[in-house]
Copies of this chain bind each other. A is one copy, B any other.
Amino acid sequence: MVLCECFARDGLQHEARFVATAVKIEAIERFAGLGFARVEATSYAHPKHVPQFADADAVLAGIARRAGVRYKATCVNLRALERALDAAAAGRGPSEVSVLVSASESHTRRNLNRSREEQWRIVEEMVAAAAQRFVLIGTISVALGCPFEGRVDPACVAAAARRLGALGVRHIAIGDTTGMGNPRSVAQLFRRLRDEVPGMTWIAHFHDTRGTAIANCIAAYEAGVRHFDSAFGGVGGHPTNIQYGEGYTGNVCTEDLATVFEAMGVSTGLDMSRLLETAAFCEAALGRPLRSMVARSGLGLAEAAHV
């Protein structure tokens, strides 16, 4: 399985305090050193909208690259992608960029302030411009439920995946943006996607809004998914959650997820002997206790496999 560590981007996106560039760089280098084959490094969001990523260029220029590791940057629009392309031309770009569509019309309007069709036209332009240079990650958000519309028809998710596939995208992240999935809906959706949209690498990007993210990741794994996004300390809650009564909870917690997979006998590729040290670094970086359970309780039976 392949874990993508999202602490430095999805984790920090809504963090009120600016995290120093040097700390972000050290975090990303630690993640790569720990064994993550994919690390979400930053976002080319406009600094006016997301000041946390005003240092996107500096972060990507500053990290010592590790062979075999892919560094991801999210791109919200064509202007963002142009920055990624400029950085790549200078040899300091990301290796992956993600493009975003939403499975529901209301979420697209509330989150991106445009219609789904408008967003698709932007995505089409971005994919055309980026395809030769980057690994493209198509992200479908609110795929397991929408805070505004409730249930999301799996057929809509499959249609969005097919449309991304038609553009040439081969990696698709399925976002449970506000934790509305459950193990059964997750298994059903991924089985359907596997059957209806062949040839894709599926990535589970799950949030823990209702305490189900670990159960949902395991259901995805049992349904054949081998790529997972997670963030140390379970950071990364989206303010949409609070704004619309959905609580404030972030990505599935890396250290808890890795620990249960290792206990199950599924290798994460991570150096588990340094997992909690990295968790402690992330807590120190944000200056507060984060939401990991194993950071308090230890690795349990996952430890035995690594001593």
Contact = CB atoms under 8 A, between A and B. Distances in A.
Contacts of A281: none
Q: Tell me the number of copies of this protein.
A: 2
Interface string A243-264: 0011111000100100110011
A245 B296 CA distance: 8
A248 B219 CA distance: 27
B297 A184 contact: no
A185 interface: yes
A241 B297 contact: yes
A168 interface: no
Nearest to A245: B298
A281 B210 CA distance: 19
Contacts of A183: 215, 218, 260, 264
Interface in A269-306: 292-294, 296-298, 300-301, 304
A6 interface: no
Contact of A300 (B179, B259, B264): B179
A182 interface: yes
A210 B264 contact: no
Contact of A293 (B209, B219, B292, B294): B209
A84 interface: no
Contacts of A208: 293
Nearest to A299: B210
B210 A259 contact: yes
A145 interface: yes
A123 interface: no
Interface centre among A263, A264, A265 (most CB of B within 10 A): A263
Contacts of A150: 301, 304
A145 B253 CA distance: 22
Contacts of A219: 218
A112 to B, nearest CB: 22
Contacts of A210: 256, 259-260, 293-294, 297, 300
A214 interface: yes
